[in-house]
């Protein structure tokens, strides 16, 4: 008998979303600090900043999602860590492509650079985050934890 109307999948989405907010703060915060302390208009340097910010956020993501979102499936063996790294690299690629693409589109508009870069980052975070959830759910954490007696 269920104690509440919220299913396991809904709890995973809510947990992943809450952790996602925390990751977003890490991600966008790191990007903005890098842009503040090391200003640049070079798109390649901005991609490097995005990569650093994303790497900090994804590290945070693994820790919290393994503990809270997928705890019964987190076994932390080499295979699972490798699968996590693969999904992180794919999601980073999505993040950088969306970020770069949005920066190119904003060249045609007249928003302040700070706003353009943060909107670009927001779009990149949204799309890479969605892909990351599905890869973590179905690729990284698909099996139950092995019991050791």
Per-residue pLDDT of the chain (149 residues; tens, 9 = 90+): 445 555 566 777 788 788 888 988 999 999 999 999 999 999 999 999 999 999 999 888 878 877 777 776 667 678 888 888 899 999 999 999 999 999 999 988 888 888 999 999 999 998 998 888 788 778 777 755 554 44
- CB burial of 116-139 (b: ≥16 within 10 Å; e: otherwise) equals bbbbbbbbbbebbbeebbebbbee
> What's the confidence (pLDDT) of residue 89?
93
- Of 118, 116, 125, give the one whose Cα is nearest residue 98: 125
**Containing structural domain, residue 58:** 10-140
In a domain, 116, yes or no: yes
Q: What are phi and psi of 108, to 5 degrees?
A: -85, -10
In a domain, 5, yes or no: no
In a domain, 94, yes or no: yes
Model pTM score: 0.77
CB-count exposure of residue 57 (10 Å: 0-12, 13-18, 19+): buried
In a domain, 1, yes or no: no
**Alpha-carbon span 43 to 37, nearest angstrom:** 16
List, in sequence order, the alpha helices (H) in 38-112. 43-64, 78-106
**Alpha-carbon span 64 to 19, nearest angstrom:** 7
In a domain, 53, yes or no: yes
Number of domains in the chain: 1
- Of 148, 1, 142, 122, give the one whose Cα is nearest residue 74: 142
Secondary structure of residue 114 in the 3-state scheme: helix
In a domain, 146, yes or no: no
The answer for 76, left when phi > 0, alpha when psi is -120 to 50, beta otherwise, is left
In a domain, 44, yes or no: yes
> What's the confidence (pLDDT) of residue 9?
64
């Amino acid at each position: 008998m269920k104690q509440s109307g919220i299913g396991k999948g809904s709890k995973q989405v809510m947990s992943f979303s809450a952790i996602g907010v925390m990751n977003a703060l890490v991600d966008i915060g790191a990007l903005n600090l890098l842009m503040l302390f090391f200003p640049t208009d070079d798109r390649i340097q901005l991609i490097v900043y995005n990569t650093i910010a994303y790497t900090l956020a994804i590290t945070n993501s693994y820790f919290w999602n393994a503990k809270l979102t997928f705890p019964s499936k987190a076994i932390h063996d080499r295979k699972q860590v490798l699968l996590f790294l693969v999904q992180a690299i794919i999601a980073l690629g999505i993040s950088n492509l969306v970020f770069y693409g949005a920066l190119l589109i904003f060249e045609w508009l007249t928003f302040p650079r700070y706003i353009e870069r943060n909107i670009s980052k927001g779009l990149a975070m949204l799309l890479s985050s969605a892909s990351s959830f599905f890869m973590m759910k179905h690729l990284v954490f698909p099996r139950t934890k092995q019991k050791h007696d």
